[in-house]
Amino acid sequence: MIDPEEFLKFIKERRSIRSFQNKAIPEKEIEMILEAGRWTPSASNLQPWEFIVIKNKEILEKISKFAYFGQFIKDAPIAIAIVGKIKINPKWYKIDSTLVSMNMMLMAWALRIGTCWLGDMNREEIKRIIGLDENDHLLTVLPFGYIKGDIPVPMPRKPLNKIVKVV
Ligand SMILES: Cc1cc2nc3c(=O)[nH]c(=O)nc-3n(C[C@H](O)[C@H](O)[C@H](O)COP(=O)(O)O)c2cc1C
């Protein structure tokens, strides 16, 4: 088991990374990120998701035009689109696939690989670019790459006494 203090420190140290080195990520490490996604919990264990590994630079470039606050995706050596499969679990596909994204981000951080959740994007255009259909929910596309430059300073978090209630 992981030392709990170390684990909490690890969670606190993870940062969103928006600048990547032009350096390939070994297959073994990509596979570990995918494995972390695969082992995510899901409602009734239905695993309503699919992961699209995007290595093609032209595709990354095209996606960057529709990722409004994520143009930096074009500099990443790879990205993974996390797709919620609506038909597999219409009620929970979004929550389940969101949990996948967190597992993948933490695995990447353990590998010293940077990533950043991309929210605002033209999902319809990006779905078209990567060949998804109407029953696929494009949750996000996570860029992955070795960190370029300094690790950003932490964004502040609300103190526990502002967000925790005990009843
Ligand atoms: C749902 C969601 C959407 C986000 N969308 C973007 C985005 O489009 N572009 C971006 O640069 N960062 C995005 N972020 C990253 C947040 O800005 C970042 O997680 C937050 O500022 C805290 O910083 P940290 O991750 O370094 O702790 C998003 C994060 C989440 C969870």
Q: Which pLDDT value is given to residue 24?
A: 98
Domains of the chain plus CATH, in order, are 25-148 (3.40.109.10)
The best mutation among 10, 63, 118 to test binding of ligand 1, ranked by most ligand atoms within 8 Å of the C-beta, falls on: 118
Angle at 129 between CA 26 and CA 140, to 5 degrees: 65
pLDDT of residue 82: 98
Specify the pLDDT at position 165.
Answer: 98
**Per-residue model confidence (pLDDT) at position 137:** 98
Give the pLDDT score at 99.
99
| Ligand 1 atom at minimal distance to the Cα of residue 18 | 11
- Closest Cα to residue 64, out of 7, 129, 147? 129
Express each pLDDT in 64-113 by its tens digit: 999 999 999 999 999 999 999 999 999 999 999 999 999 999 999 999 99
Percentage of the chain with pLDDT > 70? 100
pLDDT at 101: 98
Q: How far is CA 138 from CA 50, 52, 54, 58, 80, in A?
A: 10, 10, 14, 19, 11
E strand or H helix that includes residue 89: none
Closest atom, ligand 1, to C-alpha of 120: 8
On whether the CB atoms of residues 52 and 100 are closer than 8 A, the answer is: no
Q: How many CB atoms lie within 10 A of CB 105?
A: 23
Which whole number is the average pLDDT over 11-17?
98
Mean pLDDT confidence for 18-35: 98
Q: How far is the CA of 116 from the centre of ligand 1 (A)?
A: 6
pLDDT given for residue 69 in this prediction: 97
In the structure encoding, which two tokens stand for residue 148, read together? 């370029």
Average pLDDT for the chain: 98
Per-residue pLDDT, 71: 98
Q: Model pTM greater than 0.95? A: yes
pLDDT value for 103: 98
